[in-house]
Amino acid sequence: MNDRETRELEESLDTIWEIAKGFGLDPFPIHFEVVPAAIMYEFGAYGLPGRFSHWTHGRSYQQTKTMYDYGLSKIYELVVNTNPAYAFLMEGNSVTQNKLVAAHVLAHSDFFKNNAFFAHTNRQMVEGVSINADRIRKYEFQHGQLEVEKLLDAVLSIQEHVDPHVSMRKERSDRKEEHKPSEPRETPYDDLLRLGEAKPPPEEPGPRKLPEEPEKDILLFLAEHAPDLDDWQRDILHIVRSEMLYFVPQMQTKIVNEGWASYWHARIMRELDLTEQEYVEFAQLHANVIAPSKRSLNPYYVGMKMFEDIERRWDNPTPEERETLGRKGDEGRAKIFEVRALENDAAFIRNYLTQQLVDDLDLYIYKLEGDELKVVETDFEKIRDVIVGSMANFGNPYIVVDDGDYRRSRELYLKHVYEGQEIDIDYAEKTLHYVHCLWRRPVHLETVLNDKPILLTYDGERNTKRLL
Amino acid sequence: MHAPISLSRQDWSLHRKGPADQARHNEKVKEAIKGNLPSIIAEEAIITSDGKKIVKVPIRSLELPRFRFDFGRNKHIGQGDGDSQPGDSVGQDGPGRGKQAGDQSGVDYYEADITIDELATLLFEDLGLPNLQQKSAETLEAETFRFNEISKKGLMPNLDKRRTILQNIKRNAMAGHPSFGGVKDDDLRFKIWVPDVRRETNAVVIAMRDVSGSMGEFEKYITRSFYFWMVKFLRTKYNRVKIVFITHHTEAKEVDEETFFKLGESGGTKVSSAYQLALDIVKERFDPSSWNIYPFHFSDGDNWGDVDNRRCVDLVNRLLEVSNVFGYGEIREGAIRSSSTLMNAFQAIKDEHFISVVITDKKDVYPALRKFFTPAPRREVAA
């Protein structure tokens, strides 16, 4: 985009905003920044501008940028969940492309602002990650870059194992404490009358299990209970955890959020006064974005189709739906706004994926057979269950800390809550090395292989595996 | 009134965070390559690179491991272009292995670019022909160049600054001020190229390859992989070493290098035929008094009966009389089979210059190379 085109875009942003408001979208104020491709890819790789340095970020930067340099893929949009929202537009995109991106971004920001799962996210996160990055930088000066990198490697290898609901849970257990009946007193002045006497020894608290209940938030558990970590190391655990918690809602709403944004960018663009040529350009880009993929769900496409389907079904309910479900008709728009406010991906799919959609979209289940990937199932309910199942714990195995004092010698016992999907044993054994690096005592992971419970152990020197 | 929406454009040319972390990542790639040589050198991409200068090697350890689902053992969702049926293929292996972008799971390695020469340098650092002896006649002279001679005359870009400064300080010290300053032409020292005539003893390597029907894909692959690196190694370190290529099934024949690497035949196996041919070639062309002789043989050990096995032992003993080392590599996929009758027969050979290895996995190629090509004193490397 040259300067003239930048001005043209700037003018149309006002129009796009008005159209979006007219449709009922309610985004945060947005600041767009036009950046070169390299910067775009950098922000994409780090997840947020200004995040801490680590070689894994360098790797994704290199990968995505290489793909772009070879013309294999392109990031079009990048919007940050903050208030006001920041969004980035690529210098090399045409004005029409960037208009589409702007429309898409407005819908994302509307989603961030109004979806229940984002209600507790930190809307000043850009500043937050900068402060974190400074802190980590300081630790690098104090303890050496390699030392910090070693720790970050370990923490990042288990970064998905956090629990967004931990604060709620904590409140619950605090309340339990309060309701503990206090010791019966004979008179209100017991404690005064007994002054000078030796206090009866406080009741021996039974051997308290650590954690009392299986702990899903492994990062938090390690930060609080790892036996031999320094304060700065615990701090890095807290940093990575807080950034992960910020990203979790985005990971939980990929389909519904991208579907929402794609649904709206198409409608906003149609309201704009585009020339025929611009319209063709828009249509091409839109087609690229929603192109289906043989081996994964394209969230843009599937999400958009689902919103269109919901709108259609609530606009024109069947006589049966009118009767049994009380749908009045012409409620399509209202219904999709309700969905955007309430659902995450798992709920979106569970509640609104239909037989008809699965057939229309030609969704299927495939599996590795020999060295070929084959379609194994096209049944609607099984497809729905596989999708929903794959979203549990945002696509990662659900692992809890079962015991922080295993064998009474402070060994760490992790447990994979098995729900029919086996984990990659090779990776798990390597990951245990990193967990050991944080716990510094033997670490164990219980999981299921070939329908039998097994225990993987790493004691600091070697990995072992045994049937339970 | 303006909508709460704005646009700006700034100069980002000084922003270097991504490239900085990328550099750290590349550093780690180099480390990983060093640590992963056994699995890297067995990669198909390298052996079939056809002399391409840069190859892509998969670096597995650069992925941070994490707890993840096993792609191969679980179900996944895809989308067809209408009417997909159970049984339809959606391609091979994991999604986007290394090739496709993005956040798809299953991408479990990173592809690093490295030149074959870089790899060769890392690999061959401490390898050499074992038991190499000074042979009397016909010593070949290899001419190479050295860049470490010092001269007072030379090209300015080749100025040896350290020596020049030293020279200057020396001269000043003679005049009573031991410090640096006032450089004169006389102080200048240059590095120059000088031809370096290195005497090399004659050596011939006889590479024998089993191309019989029992050699499966894996066996053929390992043989090619081993010989690829052996040839590369010999050519890198010894520019005058001769290599004789022999293939055999029930009959053996001498072939040129290209045929040797390409050939895939079938039929029965008579290992003795190859050893006999090797012996004949030695007799005809390579007098042991002036040649270091190294026969190597790779096979699955699936030989044609005990009679031939006994003949093999006999021939190997005769070859050992004229050779510096005899190397036998037996390839058994997945170590399922126990050792072959041929290997058992070879147990009878007590000569310490008979070296045998068993290869059960791609990763064993590098240890095998090390075992065969560690100059004396020989170190035992488990293969």
Q: Give the separation between CA A194 and CA A213, rounded to whole angstroms.
A: 38
In contact, B300 and B332? CB cutoff 8 Å: yes
pLDDT, tens only, B20-32 = 888 888 788 777 7
pLDDT interval class at B184 (50, 70, 90): confident
For an interface test with B, the pick among A295, A367, A400, A431 (most B C-beta atoms closer than 10 Å) comes out as: A295
Q: Give the separation between CA A96 and CA A100, rounded to whole angstroms.
A: 6
Token reading at B264: 């895939």
**Which residue did the predictor score with more confidence, B46 or A164?**
A164
Residue with tokens 């002036």: B290
Token reading at B217: 């894909």
In contact, A408 and A420? CB cutoff 8 Å: no
Q: Which of A3, A18, A4, A2 is nearest to A272 (CA)?
A: A18
pLDDT of residue B378: 40
Which of residues A361, A392, A423 is at a domain's end? A392
- Inter-axis angle of helices B271-285 and B305-322, nearest 10: 20
In chain B, the percentage of residues whose pLDDT exceeds 90 is: 6
ipTM score of complex: 0.84
Region for residue B79 given its phi and psi (left: phi exceeds 0; alpha: psi -120 to 50; beta: otherwise): beta
| pLDDT over 50 at B58, yes or no | yes
Q: Please, how many CA atoms are within 13 Å of residue B26, restricted to the half-sphere of its CB?
A: 11
Are A374 and A452 in a shared domain?
no
Computed over every residue of chain B, the mean pLDDT equals: 78
CB contact under 8 A, A424 and B18: no
| pLDDT over 80 at B108, yes or no | no
Are A78 and A17 in a shared domain?
yes
Are A9 and A92 in a shared domain?
yes
Token reading at B220: 């053929």
pTM for the whole thing? Answer: 0.69
Q: Is the residue at A219 inside a domain?
A: no
Distances from the Cα of B119 to the Cα of A140, A160, A386, B215, B225, angstroms: 33, 36, 44, 28, 14
Q: Which of A10, A294, A399 sits opposite B7 (nearest CB)?
A: A10
* B39 neighbourhood in chain A, CB within 8 Å: none
| Contacts of residue B264, Cβ cutoff 8 Å, sequence gap at least 6 | B211, B220
Distances from the Cα of A173 to the Cα of A182, A321, B146, B246, angstroms: 17, 43, 76, 77
Domain residues for the domain of A374 are 299-392
Q: Give the separation between CA A90 and CA B10, rounded to whole angstroms.
A: 12
Q: Give the separation between CA B306 and CA B312, rounded to whole angstroms.
A: 10
Q: Give the separation between CA B228 and CA B212, rounded to whole angstroms.
A: 19
Out of A52-56, A462-466, B87-91, B197-201, which region has the weakest mean confidence (pLDDT)? B197-201
Q: Which of B2, B72, B79 sits opposite A298 (nearest CB)?
A: B79
pLDDT of residue A214: 92
DSSP annotation of A210: S
The total domain count for chain A is 3
Residues of chain A with confidence (pLDDT) below 50: none
Q: Give the separation between CA A153 and CA A438, rounded to whole angstroms.
A: 10
Q: Is the residue at A162 inside a domain?
A: no
Are A434 and A385 in a shared domain?
no
Q: Is the residue at A199 inside a domain?
A: no
Instruction: Determine how many CB atoms are found less than 10 A away from the CB of residue A27.
Output: 24
- CB contacts under 8 A, B 96-135 vs A, are 96, 101-102, 104-105, 108, 110
Q: Would you call B288 an interface residue with chain A, using a CB distance cutoff of 8 Å?
A: no
DSSP annotation of B159: B
Separation of first and last alpha carbons in chain A = 63
Q: Give the separation between CA B7 and CA A106, rounded to whole angstroms.
A: 14
Which of residues A326, A361, A392 is at a domain's end? A392
Q: Is the residue at A28 inside a domain?
A: yes
Q: Is the residue at A192 inside a domain?
A: no
The full set of domain ranges for chain B reads 23-66+108-121, 142-199, 201-372
Are A67 and A51 in a shared domain?
yes
Q: Is the residue at A348 inside a domain?
A: yes
DSSP annotation of A201: P
Q: Would you call B1 an interface residue with chain A, using a CB distance cutoff of 8 Å?
A: no
For an interface test with A, the pick among B64, B90, B93 (most A C-beta atoms closer than 10 Å) comes out as: B64
Are A54 and A91 in a shared domain?
yes
Which of residues A345, A362, A392 is at a domain's end? A392
Token reading at B169: 């300080």
In contact, A390 and B105? CB cutoff 8 Å: no
pLDDT interval class at B99 (50, 70, 90): very low
pLDDT of residue A445: 97
Q: Which of B350, B280, B356 is nearest to B322 (CA)?
A: B280
What totals of helices (H) and strands (E) does chain B contain, helices first? Answer: 11, 13
Q: Is the residue at A150 inside a domain?
A: no
pLDDT, tens only, B126-148 = 677 777 776 655 555 555 677 77
Q: Is the residue at A16 inside a domain?
A: yes
Are A383 and A314 in a shared domain?
yes
In contact, A437 and A227? CB cutoff 8 Å: no
**Which residue did the predictor score with more confidence, A1 or B163?**
B163
- Inter-axis angle of helices A145-157 and A231-252, nearest 10: 40
Q: Would you call A451 an interface residue with chain B, using a CB distance cutoff of 8 Å?
A: no
pLDDT of residue B309: 87
**Which residue did the predictor score with more confidence, B212 or B57?**
B212
B201-372 CATH pick, 3.40.50.1370, 1.10.10.10, 3.40.50.410, 3.40.50.720: 3.40.50.410
Q: Give the separation between CA B240 and CA B108, rounded to whole angstroms.
A: 42
